[in-house]
Amino acid sequence: MTRFSSRCVAAFAAISLAILPVSPVLAASPAPVAGENGMVVTAQHLATDVGVKVLKEGGNAVDAAVAVAYTLAVTYPTAGNLGGGGFMTLRMADGRTDFIDFREKAPLAATKTMYLDAKGDIVPRASLDGYLAVGVPGTVKGLELAREKYGTQSRAALIDPAIRLAKDGFTLNQGDAGILAYGAKRLAKNPDAAKIFLKADGTPYREGEVLKQPDLAKVLEAIRDKGADAFYKGFVADAIVKASEAGHGILAKADFTAYRVRELKPVECDYHGYHIISSPPPSSGGVIICEILNILEAYPLAEQGYGAASTVHDMVEAMRYAYADRNTALGDPDFVKNPVSKLLSKDYAKDIRAKIEPGKAGKSADVKPLGGHESTETTHFSIIDREGNAVSVTYTLNGSFGAGVVAPGTGILLNNEMDDFTSKPGVPNLYGLVQGEANAIEPHKTPLSSMSPTIVTKDGKPFMVIGSPGGSRIITITLEAMLNVMDFGMNISDAVNAPRIHHQWQPDKIYYEPYALSPDTIEKLKSMGYTLDGGVGSPLWGQAAGILVGGPSLADIGKSGNARYYGAIDARAVSGLAEGY
């Protein structure tokens, strides 16, 4: 079958726009990419190619996901990783579901006040830069568990493509080079990172140049030959601990030997006949998506329409209450009792709806919670195979290029996931999240996440695979892509590309992307009492990656001539690709 990708569709769309006098409507998004046997959607085109090859050669969606994740660690260093962590939501064709939690954990020597000075004030950037910011990585153990339990291919088959790309190098396209240029100033501060990601003269690699990563290739070869132990018990852990000690960090060998992946029961809920399967704590993602959907299901969003002031009001009020719960009540389930069943209950949603006044902005200060420039950080990929096995993965270094440090000889960028903890109750983190005690730092605890790898089913069959990067906005980006398909009738490409809104309880304002709200909608929202922040000139948010089963949009499903799968990578992903076969 001829390869039909969003790259060529985007080029075609650009030509069409040049010759047709069309207005900038949402339908200008590249057409969804069709595939009969499988679909891979990632933020980096070479990783997508690897995933599709694995599927074509008989691997299943989990095999493809593992190969994609290893490849992104080479070709998408801003977020792809071996030195970070993440989540995998799976739904196998036989109906089994699973959630693999391979997120980072606080080192055993971590303390609640480790980012505070003697006066109890936060030491600026201590949880963001350098070795003290690093959580114990989980990616390699997570990928190996997924492969062993659900995959069908050998470790070598799934890691070899990444080894080749690291050893022989890959030619940077404009997007790849742009991402490296974005991180150049930060990477320059760590000589071992600079040696890899900057040229000998200290300048960033340019489009058309080749990036080689021989140390990373050696690590990948060791993992291929010896499995996860090569990372957690071998020279990799030794090198990271040594560099951490030299760099005022607290990582120890015991942190690596003690690291365990968790398999958890996904969070599940129902909305208008759709069944949502998403991330449980230590992610807030699935719980908060479900809480928002439960609140919204009584409002006529489809009738009101995308972007209408009434729709924005309903969504923002639901987000306000749900994020208040997120930021105060949730944390690592091994350490805190998460009120998940309460947050997921339809009665709780009804109680919240009773407090929402139509046509009037609520006030975050009045919300009593239950308990206490971002674009290329984190990455999400969505995959489905010919059997209908669906895999949704979000993994991350937290900030772009993580803590900005590479332990000598490893080629591995390390995360700064420790910033996702509450460094001090009431003080905002990188994403402006004001969090509470449930997410306080404790040894071996996992910081609360917003990552929301999600699979939606309808009538017991896969319907949508979706997720996004975006820090605290991951939840609302993923939610809005789902609503765009389920309520607003968008095709999967428009759904991931449409401009978005976001509210996270604190600060009490509606954030909006360029063109998300028309001037008269903004006026209406202001007259309801809202404060707004965003619009033209403000940065774009995370790059969603989505798959719809059975048609490019809801209305198309069931029509003859459809392919089985339709995929779309957000145009905000400068090097991304959706590819089917």
- Binding residues (CB under 6 A) for ligand GLY: these are 378, 396, 398, 420, 449-451, 471, 474
Residue 21 burial (C-beta neighbours within 10 Å; 0-12, 13-18, 19+): exposed
3-class SS at 182?
helix
Pairing verdict, β 532-534 and 510-512: parallel
Of 325 and 494, the one with the shorter C-beta distance to ligand GLY is: 325
Helix axes 309-329, 519-528, angle to 10 degrees: 60
Of 13 and 451, the one with the shorter C-beta distance to ligand GLY is: 451
Q: How far apart are CA 285 and CA 281, in angstroms?
A: 8
Lateral strand order in the sheet of 577-580? 262-264, 97-101, 85-91, 390-396, 379-384, 39-42, 577-580
Of 375 and 398, the one with the shorter C-beta distance to ligand GLY is: 398
Helix axes 309-329, 285-296, angle to 10 degrees: 140
Nearest to 265 by CA among 279, 248, 253: 279
CB of 135 to ligand GLY, least distance (A): 10
Q: How far apart are CA 393 and CA 379, in angstroms?
A: 8
CB of 375 to ligand GLY, least distance (A): 13
- Identity of residue 324: A
CB of 281 to ligand GLY, least distance (A): 12
Residue with tokens 């998004």: 29
CB of 136 to ligand GLY, least distance (A): 15
Q: Where are the alpha helices (DSSP H) in 169-248?
A: 174-187, 191-197, 214-226, 229-232, 235-246
Residue with smallest beta-carbon separation from ligand GLY: 449
CB of 420 to ligand GLY, least distance (A): 5
CB of 448 to ligand GLY, least distance (A): 8
CB of 290 to ligand GLY, least distance (A): 17
Of 54 and 451, the one with the shorter C-beta distance to ligand GLY is: 451
Of 353 and 380, the one with the shorter C-beta distance to ligand GLY is: 380
Q: What's the residue count for the chain?
A: 581
Largest CA distance in the chain: 69
Which residues are catalytic, by number? 378
Cβ neighbours of 234 (radius 10 Å): 17
Residues facing residue 569 across a β-bridge: 545
Of 457 and 472, the one with the shorter C-beta distance to ligand GLY is: 472
CB 392 within 8 A of CB 466: yes
- Identity of residue 97: T
Of 295 and 430, the one with the shorter C-beta distance to ligand GLY is: 430
Task: Calculate the CA dihedral of residues 501, 502, 503, 504 and round it to 10 degrees.
Answer: 180
